Structure 1
Amino acid sequence: MRSLSARLSTLITTAGMCVLSTTALAADLTVSAAASLTNAFNDIAKAYQQQYPQDKVRLNFGASGSLLQQIQNGAPVDVFASADQQTMDQAQAKNLVRAADRVNFVNNTLVLITPKNSTLNIRNMKDLQQASIHHIALGNPAYTPAGRYAQAAMEQAKVWSKVQPKIVNVNNVRQALDYVANQSTEAGFVFGTDAAIMPDKVQVAATIPTTKAISYPIARTINTKEPAAANRFIGFVRSAKGQQILKRYGFQSVR
């Protein structure tokens, strides 16, 4: 029969190995995500950390194109979630993410909004040509997906050249939302999920059709130092729990 001291030694060694194992699994994860994901990803990060308490998630939000530039310039990012395919295509072309690592995880809609108390008769994009409309908030199409979707839709409706002088380019879709909510502009283009978080300050004048579905891709970056944790986070976003949180904020399941 083993001595008490031998058994204690084994228990201490086993406990030490468990601590080392837990420490080895711990990760400090940086997730850069489109501004329209702010509320949903804040909740997802909290739920993720409850399930994986060894991991710490740091969130960085902004226009998808701006986030891409940060990654390209060497920002230490482990997971990138874009509001459009074009930006993720660029990330892939620049060898910042791999095609095999990207996956679409949610869809959205584009909407035209006005202040809640607006008395202007705006029901479609052609109505933006009215003389009473002086300013239209729009994420800069150069790096903001919502802005690109809106510009393409206005070009298709043949109103872009007429309303372009009224456009107020802003940094991201949430800033466009704020401009309309604060009545700094008479109208603006945002995603449906953005309008849904301020129902007391903005109203949806029209849902804008787009030629392609507004699908959001997510991928771990090539330079991540936490590939296992990055995969865990992406898996959580796609899980029933993650999708439930996204649905609560108005996002649509990928078809």
Structure 2
Amino acid sequence: MKEYNFIRKGVLNCLVAAFIFFSGLQNANAKEIIISAAVSLSNAFKEIAIIYETKHPTDKILFNFGASGGLLQQIEQGAPVDIFASADEETMDQAEKKSLIVKQSRKDFAYNSLVLIVPIHSVLHIQNLDDLLQPSIQKIAVGQPKIVPAGKYAQNLLQKSQLWDKIQTKLIIGQNVRQVLNYVARDEVNVGFVYYSDAVLLSDKVKIIQDFSLNHSIRYPIALVKQKTENKNAQEFIDFVLSFEGQKILVKYGFASVPH
């Protein structure tokens, strides 16, 4: 009996050792893919990552979400990033001019539109942008134009209508588009400028009263970030985002797909 227990113990020890060995091999082969992405992509990209990781079990997706301009600054300062996904073309253009991305990897992967939203129970009647001057509208939330693409789009729109300077005292500045969305959802401001994809996430708390780019003219680009050591797995994630399955998830979260 003692001999049997000894043999059984030895077999168990071998199995445990083998498990640790193969687990170590799997961890050694695991490759992290670090993605800096516009905060408006957070819900869609998190779901895309879950499905991607099931198809690529040795890859681990790590996200850094924020305002596109802020993310660009981080990359410029040397932050370890494999992929950059911006909410506008201008920010990606800057990354390309500064040779921070692999130019040939750059692709547009989604469309979006700028919308004006109000709290779900708001009774405001806004037929055109000039209505933002009415006394009943005291707080207008926009993203910080210097770093938030949605804020930049809103500023350009209001400047063209010669309203930007006139509403300065009403502006509430958000550090990213989701902060603006939450201001409106919590009824802390009268109106806010966000992306369509953000507004549909909280359709029970906010409502869209104007859509300023019905043709989904706002493009989202994605690209590999230049690194000393190339992460070959990163391109596979970009390919998945561009695939039918990845595009289907983006559409689910309010984006329009980009034909390739």
TM-score by length of 2: 0.86
Any idea what the Cα deviations from partners look like across 1:159-202, whole Å, max 9, x if unmatched? 22212221111100000000000111100000000000001110
User: Aligned-pair distance for 1:158?
Assistant: 2.1
Change (3 A) 1:238 1:21: farther
CA contact (8 A) 1:84 1:215 kept: yes
Larger mean Cα displacement after TM superposition, 206-215 or 109-118: 206-215
Q: Where does the alignment leave 5 or more consecutive residues of structure 1 unmatched?
A: 1-17
Q: Which residue of 1 aligns with 2:76?
A: 72
RMSD over aligned CA atoms reads 2.0
CA–CA distance in structure 1, aligned partners of residues 239 and 228 of structure 2:
16
Which structure 2 residues correspond to residues 198-217 of structure 1 after superposition, within 5 A? Answer: 198-209=202-213, 213-217=217-221
Could you tell me whether the CA contact under 8 Å between 2:216 and 2:256 is conserved in 1?
no
Instruction: Report what 1:100 is aligned to.
Output: 104
* Match 2:185 to one of 181, 188, 198: 181
Deviation >6 Å, runs of 4+: 18-24
Alignment equivalent of 2:244, drawn from 233, 240, 243? 240
Aligned partner of 2:136: which letter? Answer: S
Q: How many Å apart are 1:209 and its aligned residue? A: 3.4
**In 2, Cα distance between the equivalents of 1:234 and 1:108?**
18
Equivalent residue in structure 1 for 2:66, among 37, 62, 65: 62
Match of 1:190 in 2: 194
Task: State the distance in 2 between where 1:124 and 1:249 align.
Answer: 27
Return 216-225 or 239-248, whichever deviates more.
216-225
Among 40, 45, 51, the residue aligned to 1:47: 51
What secondary structure is seen at the aligned counterpart in 2 of 1:58? strand
Aligned length: 238
| TM-superposition CA deviations, 1:201-232 (whole Å, max 9, x none) | 10001001399920000001001645311100
Structure 2 runs not aligned, ≥5 long:
1-21
Equivalent position of 2:258 in the other structure: 254
Could you say if the C-alpha distance between residues 246 and 212 of structure 1 is closer, same or farther in structure 2, counting changes exceeding 3 Å? closer
Q: What are the equivalent positions in structure 2 for 1:214-225 lying under 5 Å apart?
A: 214-223=218-227, 225=229
User: In structure 1, what is the equivalent of residue 121 of structure 2?
Assistant: 117
**Larger deviation, residues 117-126 vs 182-191:** 117-126
Q: Give SS of 2:210's match.
A: strand
TM-score of the two chains, using structure 1 as the length reference: 0.88
Q: Is the partner of 1:122 in helix, strand or coil?
A: coil
Partner of 2:257: helix, strand, or coil? coil
